[in-house]
Structure 1
């Protein structure tokens, strides 16, 4: 008597958990290698810069970077929920912050890839997780340009003339985020990612939440740079506007340069260029390098905290719960 045939994909389904058990430590090891190489290459300048800064200012800046990462996590969570897969804050934090470590590997796409893989454990379709990551990227870039335009334009009388072109980019970006417009062009631009699956339109509420969380993120990151700049003696007048707009603009530049890990080099160059209006180029470079170091430290810290809280608190789904929720989450 012949045994019943195994359903298609069954061997692959059995292999996947076993393969994933080895892939995750390997992926974390790759991230650690690239992050370590960056630190080795820049450590002399970073340590010299830290030696010039007040310890309290560095601590405040680090806390604000952690806060900014929490805000950007909420942006991703809002996007994913708006696409039809709501997750708890703890679960979303674990997925997003662990996945974000992939930005230290050259290529630019690894955070989204990692988040899509981690999301599968919680019944989220991989395509939807990828789309949520792309929505976050789009919102971060557009709101980064908007924040840079508003803050830099008012940071000094000369800045309005120097950054007038940001007004055009910001206006076009804001229009592109209007849900009726976004839900038209975004699916059309992602036909290759869609692979035949339908793309749910994102709700106006989810888009508004994502924009607000992203704006809060830029303010937190700008304030962390303000503490560092004040520690180096930068004049207070207009400084918060300059650091907020400068960081947002530098991040957008670094994002465009996707070949480098997390925009390494390009972001610092753009930040030095903007901050040089209030600081010497040497001091501006110190701020850029220390800021990068604090970001790397905060990325690792926040990811570790998210995993620890999820495990200690018992958050997360069992395999049975994942299978039960998979149809509901799409």
Structure 2
């Protein structure tokens, strides 16, 4: 038989290969920036880490991992509510690897990563984009819900600074009404010249996602609390400020989308929340340790998923 002529690769294959290389390059950049974040923070707090009992760091690490696992459930619930159900293994791979996008300036990089990775599992790009926005909204609503619920047990100074959240919270729950959300999101999709959502998200998915996110803030707040205890903080006096402080720090940090992982804003809010229960210098060390630990956990979970994905391929 005559040999078949070898022509140029089809355009579709070229684009697919280019996207694969782009994803790899983006992953390398995100990993590098995450490592830089760890190095900078660790050098700043190395001396203080030496006086923190190992058991408190170990306990904080456990709650940090549990908090991220609960956050994964938020993502899965919202995705299912938008009409795309993925298995736990695939969801974990997309979610935890995409979290490295937080370390690239601009809060949208995690969303972009989820959009690209979701394509391989038939998740519509518009659903992935909307999911990223919804996750940020639910994160904020849940953060303020937790803060308002625990406000009676925080310091008077913290209550004085954030009393207005009690007025804001009802408005937020009105804003996430499914009918209103559906109209707003589809309007934005039309402006972006995209097709409407496959199906409207319902109250059940929104409330379940909010409940999972509240649990996430509680678990991550306990992570902070164990670090506070390790630095001689009063266990009773600092419990509520640790949880409220982290929930508000992360919620307000999301507004600083131009900074990697809300750098600076999150730390400042957490220090402010803890300063009434401990010296400001110690509260600053807590914020830095927590940020370093969170970055390590992000790298650990993303690394585990990359290994699992490579073995399963």
Settle same-fold status: TM greater than 0.5: yes
CA drift of 1:157 comes to 4.9
Structure-2 separation of matches of 1:165 and 1:70: 31
State whether residues 115 and 129 of structure 1, in contact with CA within 8 Å, keep that contact through their aligned partners in structure 2. Answer: yes
- Aligned equivalent of 2:21: 22
Please name the residue that 1:52 is paired with: 51
C-alpha separation between the residues in 1 aligned to 2:308 and 2:123?
Answer: 21
Deviations 1:270-294 (A, max 9, x none): 1101110111111101100000001
Partner residue, 2:195: 197
Q: How does 1:120-131 map to 2 (within 5 A)?
A: 120-131=119-130
1:96 aligns with 2:102: no
**1:60-80 per-position Cα deviation (integer Å, ceiling 9, x unaligned):** 111111111111111111111
What TM-score, normalized to structure 2?
0.91
State how far apart, in whole Å, the 2-side matches of 1:157 and 1:208 are: 31
1:129-208 paired onto structure 2 within 5 Å:
129-157=128-156, 159-193=158-192, 195-199=193-197, 200-208=199-207
Contact preservation (8 Å) 1:103, 1:261: yes
Q: Compared with structure 1, are the counterparts of its residues 231 and 115 closer, same or farther at alpha carbon in structure 2 (3 Å cutoff)? A: same
Q: Aligned runs of 1:241-252 on 2, under 5 Å? A: 241-252=240-251
Classify 1:237/1:86 alpha carbon distance in 2 versus 1 (closer, same or farther; 3 Å).
Answer: same
Q: After superposition, where does 1:231-310 map in structure 2 within 5 Å?
A: 231-310=230-309
Q: Aligned-pair distance for 1:310?
A: 4.3
TM-score (norm 1): 0.86
| Structure 1 match to 2:77 | 78
The gaps in structure 2 that reach 5 residues or longer are 1-8
Q: How many residues in Structure 1 have an aligned counterpart in Structure 2?
A: 304
Give the Cα separation in 2 of the matches to 1:37 and 1:157: 37
**Distance across 1 between alignment mates of 2:262 and 2:194:** 32
| Contact 2:139-2:213 at 8 Å conserved across structures | yes
Q: How far apart, CA to CA, are the structure 2 residues paired with 1:32 and 1:72?
A: 20
Distance in structure 1 (CA, Å) of the matches to 2:263 and 2:212: 24
CA RMSD of aligned residues (A): 1.9
* DSSP-derived class of the 2:232 partner: coil
Q: 1:4 — aligned with what?
A: none
In structure 1, the residue matched to 2:5 is none
**Residue 123 of structure 2 corresponds to residue 118 of structure 1:** no
Q: Which moved more, 1:197-206 or 1:243-252?
A: 197-206
Structure 1 residues 98-117: Cα deviation after superposition (integer angstroms, max 9, x where no partner): 11101100111100000100
Tell me, in whole angstroms, the C-alpha distance in 2 between the residues paired with 1:218 and 1:127.
Answer: 28
Task: Tell me the distance in 1 between the aligned counterparts of 2:191 and 2:41.
Answer: 38
Quick one: structure 1 residues 249 and 190, their matched pair in 2 at CA, closer, same or farther if it must change by over 3 Å?
farther
Between 1:156-165 and 1:263-272, the stretch displaced more is 156-165
Contact 2:98 2:110 in 1 (8 A): yes
Deviation at 1:18, TM superposition (A): 1.4
